[in-house]
Amino acid sequence: MALSGVRVLELAGLAPAPLCGMILADFGARVVRVDRTPYAAISTDRQGRGKRSLALNLRRPPGAAALRRLCCAADVLIEPFRQGVMEKLGLGPEVLLQENPRLIYARLTGFGQTGKYARSAGHDINYLALSGVLSKMGRKDENPYAPLNLLADFAGGGVMCALGIVIALYERTKSGKGQIIDASMAEGVAYLSSFLWKSQNLGIWDRPRGENILDSGAHYYETYKTSDGKFMAVGAIEPQFYEKLLKGLGLDSDELPSQFSYSDWPKMKKKFASIFAQKTQAEWCSIFDGTDACVTPVLSFDDVASHQHNKQRSSFIKNDEEEISPRPAPLLSRTPAVPSLQRDPFIGEHTEEILLEYGFTKEEIAKLYSDKVIEINKPKANL
C-alpha cells in the first residue's frame, strides 16, 4: 500500500486523532495506538481498524522514557492533548525532534498551539463557532445548529491532520527532515469553508441564514418526506436539472413561478412537500433513478450498504465481527487501501510484541511490567 513501511505512534485520544490514525493505517502505515494506563475496560476508540495497542503510563518517568525511545524509531507521532501537556511530560517536539530529526510530530488540537484559546477546552460546536462556519448553518428563524460533530472534529481535524502528515512525509523525501504540524480543528474547518469565503460576491450567500440556495432556503435544494415516512433529497440547482425534477413531479414549468424567485420559494416548498408525500421512497426512486433530476433517497445506516450503487462499488465493508463501516476513500488504482477486517485491538493487546519490535529486550519489558509502567492484555482463547 501507499504508506507501507511508515511507522506511526498515535497517542490515544477522542474522535479526530483516532480517525487520523485509521486513515494512515488503512493506506498501509503500521499504526501503534499508545493507550493510557491504568486503562478502562473498554476503549473509547471506535476507529482502531488496522492498529495495534500498547498500554503505557506516560505520567511515570520510565513510561515517558519508553515513548521517547519509541519515537527514535518512528516516522510519525500523533498527539491530541492541549497545548503544554507533552512539554510537562518532557515529550515536547524540541526534545523528540532533537533525538529523531526525521520525526513528523503532529499536534492535533481544537484551537491550535498558540492564541488565547490554546489551553482551553472545547468541542466541535465551539470550533465551528470560532471558525465562522456555524453562523451559516441553520434554517430561517432558528438558532444556528451544528451538524453532528463531523465538520470540525473529523473533517477539519482528523482528515486535515492526515493530509498534513502525508505532505510532511513527502517533503521529508527531499529534505530528510521531520517537522511539527500544528493542526487546529477551528482553522481546519475554516479552511474547509474556503468556498463560502470566495463565493460571497456570487449571490449565493447574500441573503440571511436559511434563505439561500444551499442552506435550506430553496425548494429545489431540500429534503422531502415520502408516504412511507422516509425522505428524498433534492438538489436540482441548474435549470436543466430543475426541468427534469418538475417533469418527475408531474409539474409544468410554464404554470409555475421562476425557479429563482425568492419570494415564491416557501410556497413552492409546500407544493413539493405535498407531492412527495403521495408516493413511497421506492416509488420516487423508480421515477428519478437514471435521470439528471438530482433526486436521491435519504438512506439510513441500515439501508446504505444494500443500495445498488454502493453494492456495485463495494463502498461498505464488513469486518470479522459482522460490523459494517465505510471503505477507505479515495480509490487508488495501483496502491489502493486494504483495510483490516479484524476487530479493533484490545487495550494493551500488543504491548509486548510492539516493544520487542522497537528494540526493547525481554528483560526491559519484564521490568516495565513489574513496575506497572506497561500493561499487557492478551485476549484469552474461547475454548
Is 309 an annotated catalytic residue?
Answer: no
Rg of the chain over all Cα atoms, to the nearest angstrom: 25
Q: Among the options 153, 182, 215, 344, which is catalytic?
A: 153
**DSSP annotation of 42:** S
30 vs 27: CA distance, rounded Å: 9
Buried b (16+ CB within 10 A) or exposed e, 130-162: bbebbebbbeeeeebebeebebbbbbbbbbbbb
Angle CA(25)–CA(311)–CA(166) in degrees, nearest 5? 25
Residue 92: per-residue pLDDT: 97
Backbone angles phi, psi at 151, to 5 degrees: -70, -55
**C-alpha cell, 15:** 474522535
Give the pLDDT of the chain (383 residues) as one tens digit per residue.
999 999 999 999 989 999 999 999 999 999 999 999 876 656 677 899 999 999 999 999 999 999 999 999 999 999 999 889 999 999 999 999 999 999 999 999 999 999 999 999 999 999 999 999 999 999 999 999 999 999 999 999 999 999 999 999 999 999 999 999 999 999 999 999 999 999 888 888 889 999 999 999 999 999 999 999 999 999 999 999 999 999 999 999 999 999 999 999 999 999 999 999 999 999 999 999 999 999 999 999 999 999 999 999 999 999 999 999 999 999 999 999 999 999 999 999 999 999 999 999 999 999 999 999 999 988 765 54
DSSP letter assigned to residue 43 = -
pTM for the predicted model, two decimal places: 0.94
For the beta carbon of residue 270, count every other beta carbon within 10 angstroms.
Answer: 10
- Record the cell numbers describing residue 83, joined without a space: 497545548
End-to-end CA distance of the chain: 36
Q: Among 130, 27, 34, 126, which Cα is nearest to 80's?
A: 34
DSSP structural state of residue 20: H
Q: What is the 3-state secondary structure (H, E, C) of 67-83?
A: HHHHHHCCCEEEECCCC
**Nine-digit cell at 4?**
507501507
Can you give the pLDDT at residue 46? 87
List C-alpha distances in Å: 2 to 154, 171, 206.
22, 15, 43
What pLDDT sits at residue 41?
A: 56
Is 307 assigned a catalytic role?
no
Domains of the chain, start order: 7-193+332-375 (3.40.50.10540), 221-298 (3.30.1540.10)
